[in-house]
Amino acid sequence: MSSTENGLAAVVDGNNCFALELYARLRGQEGNLFFSPYSLSTALAMTYAGARGRTAEQMAAALRFPLGQEELHPVFASLIQELQGGEPRETQLAVANALWGQQDYGFLAGFLKLTQRCYGAGLRELDFVGAPEAARIAINAWVERQTRDRIKDLLKPGILDSSARLVLTNAIYFKGSWAEPFSEAATREEPFFIADDRTATVPMMRQTGLMQYLGERHFQALELPYAGGGLSMVVLLPREAGGLPAFEDTLTVSNLAEWVSKLRDEEVAVQLPRFKVTEELFLNPVLSDLGMPLAFDPEHADFSGMDDGKGPGLYITAVVHKAFVEVNEEGTEAAAATGVAMAARGRPRPPEVFRADHPFVFLIRDTRSGSILFIGRVADPRQ
């Protein structure tokens, strides 16, 4: 295996490790969960390209990057190229990256060259200082186009203000048909056991055939390939209806690799529900807990690899992620986008406190002339 192949394998393994560690952190929320770890790793790898010192060390450890700055980004470029594929596919898989920077800000040429060369992320200049809302709308419109309108409003109102200087974005879109589609005529309404004491009626798809399958004592695994090869869905199903939490405890990179390696052709009668999931995540606290708090620290973050140092420097204000997936008889459509918003470093001044809980004077005046129209005093608001 060549050094490039070794590097690629190491980066994929690190990304997968980050994916399952992040899943473990997010699994405590109620209901469905869906996100794109690839999108997150890519957007944060671009951000990492500008990190230095302890900030870079923390990011590399938290994101499970196995290579240093010099080696990592060319490997990400190879991974992007491999995912995009040089040959026509029956599935659609599109990945796009972009940088959105404050116009006339002193971004380092080396940083811009690296993110362009390795991530295809050209710099688009916006006016965050004078028109942050217009900037937010422009970024969201790009995300919508890249995800075929599946991801809307990635950046919510209030995420960006006049202190914003850079937003790094990744968008990924996938649409694939099953190699063996399910027949709509076979789909029936069936009960789905949400919990021990609750069921819901859902459309359950059905088919029987030779498939890659693993049957273990506590769970089953099934691989459903998409047309054209190269991409598939793996479904991991606990044997017991209430067995998901215990199974999730065993979900590690090494276990997953072992389970996938043990898949074998078996005749399987599959019943899989049609489903659609949307997810919105604000990941600052989770990523900080994973070990990269400095990146979010307005006083101590070090992203000196991004700008010329003439300003106060940058720190991450928000890592936001949205994802969508729909699975039906024909196949799967999925999309996700990640935004990393960065602002000029320096802790915002805390607001002054005005607590009118004792007697005060008030007046009403004409602001044009300065004339006092009314004046009074409140000694007891109850009177």
Helix/strand number for the chain, H first, E second: 9, 13
- Which pLDDT band holds residue 320 (cuts at 50, 70, 90)? very high
pLDDT 10s digits, 345-365:
754 545 555 455 556 454 454
Each residue of 247-284: b (16+ CB within 10 Å) or e? eeeeeebeebeebeeebeeeeeebebeeeeeebebebe
Rounded to whole angstroms, how far apart are CA atoms 297 and 320? 17
CATH topology identical between 3-177+276-344 and 188-273? no
Q: What pLDDT does 157 receive?
A: 93
Domain-by-domain residue ranges, the chain?
A: 3-177+276-344, 188-273
CB atoms within 10 A of CB 3: 9
- Give Cβ neighbours of residue 192 (< 8 Å, ≥ 6 apart): 199, 200, 201, 202, 204, 273
Domain 3-177+276-344: give its CATH superfamily. Antithrombin, subunit I, domain 2 (3.30.497.10)
Q: What pLDDT does 280 receive?
A: 95
Rounded to whole angstroms, how far apart are CA atoms 211 and 255? 21
* Top mean-pLDDT range of 10-14, 114-118, 235-239: 114-118
When the pLDDT of each residue in the chain is averaged and rounded to a whole number, the result is: 87
Q: What is the mean pLDDT of residues 368-372?
A: 45
Question: What sections of the chain are H helices per DSSP?
Answer: 3-26, 37-48, 53-62, 69-84, 109-119, 132-146, 244-248, 253-261, 284-290
Rounded to whole angstroms, how far apart are CA atoms 248 and 244? 6
- Which pLDDT band holds residue 366 (cuts at 50, 70, 90)? very low
Rounded to whole angstroms, how far apart are CA atoms 223 and 225? 6
* Closest listed residue to residue 290, CA positions, set 84, 32, 53, 44: 44
Q: What pLDDT does 187 receive?
A: 93
Tokens of 76: 């990400």
Q: What is the mean pLDDT of residues 181-196?
A: 87
Q: What pLDDT does 372 receive?
A: 42
Q: What pLDDT does 34 receive?
A: 86
- Which pLDDT band holds residue 3 (cuts at 50, 70, 90)? low
Q: Are 75 and 7 in contact (CB under 8 A)?
A: yes
- Which pLDDT band holds residue 161 (cuts at 50, 70, 90)? very high
pLDDT 10s digits, 82-119:
887 655 567 888 999 999 999 989 999 999 999 999 99
CATH fold for the domain made of 188-273:
Alpha-1-antitrypsin; domain 1 (2.30.39)
Among 10-24, 138-152, 217-231, the range scoring the smallest mean pLDDT is: 217-231
